[in-house]
Amino acid sequence: MAFLQRAEYIVGAVLVLAMVTIGIINPAFWQLDNIFSLLRSNVVMGIMALGVLLVLVSGGIDVSFPAFAVAGMYLTIKLMLLVGYQGVFWPFVLATGIGMVLGFVNAFFVHRFSLIPLIVTLGTASMVRGFLLGVVGTSMININIMPKQLINFATAELWSVVNPDGTHYGLTAMILIYAGLAVAMHLVLTYTMIGRSVYAMGGDAVSARRVGFNLRRTTFFVYGLAGALAGFAGMLHSSMIWLANPRDFGGLDLDVIAAVVLGGASIYGGKGSVVGTMLGVFTLVMVKNSLIIMKVETTWQRVVVGLIIILATAITAYRDRKKSV
């Protein structure tokens, strides 16, 4: 049963099983446009999941990243409209920066006062959402006033197919950004000292301090990067759907954490991988999106997500228990 130890194999097996099942129920699942749209749905959630992975490996938890994503996206686009700026690069930098600074706030409370990360991030999430909706505004920024260059940027495709009836579908180029960030995250976690310090801190914070890791730096790195990724993902999301909604991403925290746990990361810290996380995200997105083609009403989505979370955590709890015996 050694293969059960490798979380990636479990989630991989679950994924294959789910794909086969869905494919049998509705062969339309295997059509290219469905696969493309699935991949597209992975991008934003996957980028956020990379940040959550980092936080879980460090031994923490973060429920504030959806709020940070909205903050990065909404504040940036508001500002762009205010000053009439067009462009892509700097807005993304700004959104990322906003997310990072907010992440630093989490890090400050978690590190300086050794507070429970769940409660800190619940607090900061409430503050950020409250501030956005209460002070900045509650109105949606629709396609008619969305900065055009952002839309153009996010509609870029790697590969387009034109159907006989003239409609067309394609594979979004944003998938490259996701892949690039994932590879970068993998490299950072595996080949840099700061990445290893995240595993060390999640494994045993006291020892990590003793051998000379700077835990303050690691904590700020972890929450800062998670916030930055959220801000970036928020901006990307809004560019891809041509809309900036300050109430967006409600309940996304649970989905993303579920995906990361499904991918084998331990909530106790010290364990988790980028590959597992990507597989976890893909599985969750696929099951959620496939409810429609399996003719299940969309109101069932949350029920299904809830069941997936319970199942995934039950499996990991079972695995951890087996190990400790």
**Interface with another protein by CB under 8 A: which residues?**
61, 109, 113-116, 118-120, 122-135, 138, 190-196, 199-200, 202-204, 206-208, 210-213, 251, 254, 257-258, 261, 267-268, 270-271, 297, 299-307, 309-310, 313-314, 317-318, 321, 323
Residue 147 vs 195, nearer CB to another protein: 195
Q: Cβ(152)–Cβ(19) under 8 Å?
A: no
Distance CA(229)–CA(98), nearest Å, equals 10
Residue 42 vs 121, nearer CB to another protein: 121
How many other β-carbons are positioned within 10 Å of the β-carbon of residue 47? 25
Residue 170 vs 270, nearer CB to another protein: 270
For the bound state, the minimum distance from the C-beta of residue 52 to another protein, rounded and expressed in Å, comes to 13
For residue 29, give both structure tokens: 């699942």
For the bound state, the minimum distance from the C-beta of residue 165 to another protein, rounded and expressed in Å, comes to 33
| CB within 8 Å of 97: residues ≥ 6 apart | 72, 228, 231
Q: What are phi and psi of 278, to 5 degrees?
A: -65, -40
For the bound state, the minimum distance from the C-beta of residue 240 to another protein, rounded and expressed in Å, comes to 25
Distance CA(65)–CA(230), nearest Å, equals 6
Residue 115 vs 151, nearer CB to another protein: 115
89-112 vs 215-241: helix axis angle to the nearest 10? 140
Give the three-class secondary structure for 110: helix
CA neighbor of 73 nearest in space, from 199, 228, 211, 294: 228
For the bound state, the minimum distance from the C-beta of residue 126 to another protein, rounded and expressed in Å, comes to 3
Residue 145 vs 314, nearer CB to another protein: 314
For the bound state, the minimum distance from the C-beta of residue 224 to another protein, rounded and expressed in Å, comes to 17
Q: Cβ(226)–Cβ(65) under 8 Å?
A: yes
Residue 40 vs 129, nearer CB to another protein: 129
For the bound state, the minimum distance from the C-beta of residue 199 to another protein, rounded and expressed in Å, comes to 6
